[in-house]
Chain A
Amino acid sequence: MKLKQNKPSDEIPTSSMADIAFLLIVYFMVTTTFAATRGLDFALPKDDDTPPIVEKEDSVLVEVNAFGDVLVDQKPTELEDIFDYLKPKLERNPKKPVIIKPDPEAPYGSMVKVFDTLRRIKIKIDGTAVSVREIDMKIIQEAEAELEEGENLESILGKDVNVSIPTQREIESFWY
């Protein structure tokens, strides 16, 4: 009697390949952390050993105390009110320097908030000062994308406020 031979299949079993691959994908997706890639730019003074002399009386002094409260020209001010205070001054003198002077113990975040508030103020070509909001970022991005050679953002959006953040060392060596 002839026995029926059980022929082993000569195929590589690939049915679990998809499971393996999807497990790998899930692993990568779970372990991925998204990098924060956006922030506020801040141009430091150009290579220049003599910083422009700013008369203290000419500038607006924005202080941040140790608790994160904001004082504009020594008066406690809410973040939203800074613009209203600065608007007439900037419309009279668009180059008016604004100095941010955080207390050494002030939290970094509150200084960034003040800087953000000041950076949102733009002085248009006709001299009016406006405060842009988050929604306007779309306009900024579109304008950035459509910039042509030699053009710069300022002509479309208006000029930035002249903000400076002197460091403690500079304050000690130039102010007193």
Chain B
Amino acid sequence: MRLKRRHESAAVIPTASMADIAFLLIVFFMVTITFEKDKTQVALPKTELRFEVPKEAAYISVTNNGQIRVTNGEHMSTPLDSIDDVVSFAANLVVEFPDRPVVLKADDNVPYRNIDEVIDSLKQAKVELIYLLSEQERVDTPSGG
């Protein structure tokens, strides 16, 4: 007697739950994302020491061609017409959010004159703490040391 051939199971990978997995990933990314308040692209200077910048901070960005954008940390950054406006921005900031640090996001190659004026404005407005945003400098450690 000839046996009936065994029923072959279909070689299919179950993909029904793929969509669930993918959407869970999307939801995870959407929940964990924090939006940058200042999207200016600058080549940051490199330092070896770097400290975490508090989440609630005001940003001042200075690009290579001297353009300045500011945000008090609540809204997206807005451009300033001239460097002299930094004083009034900083004064408003100190009144509204007295303990908020200011993060200076300036390009590596900006002439120091511009930074000097920004820092001077911040000093005049009695800002107490600023952060100089930087990238990590890689250190070549001597071998065996």
Q: Which residues of A contact B (CB under 8 A)?
A: 14-15, 17-18, 20-22, 24-25, 28, 32-33, 35-47, 64, 102-109, 111-113, 115-116, 119-120, 132-135, 137, 165, 167-170
Chain B residues, Cβ within 8 Å of A108: 45, 62, 106-112, 114-115
Q: Is the interface of B mostly helix, strand, loop or mixed?
A: mixed
Tell me whether A167 and B119 are in contact (CB under 8 A): yes
Q: Give 19 A-B contacts (CB < 8 Å), ordered by A residue.
A: A17-B19, A18-B22, A24-B22, A38-B134, A39-B133, A40-B134, A41-B51, A41-B132, A43-B129, A102-B112, A104-B111, A107-B112, A108-B114, A116-B134, A133-B139, A134-B48, A134-B138, A168-B113, A168-B116
CB nearest to B43 among chain A residues: A109
Q: What is the interface residue range for chain B against chain A?
A: 35 or more
Report the separation of the CA atoms of residues A104 and B18 in the bound assembly, to the nearest whole angstrom.
59
A157 CB to nearest chain B CB (Å) = 11
Chain A residues, Cβ within 8 Å of B128: 43-44, 46-47
Tell me whether A104 and B112 are in contact (CB under 8 A): yes
A165 CB to nearest chain B CB (Å) = 7
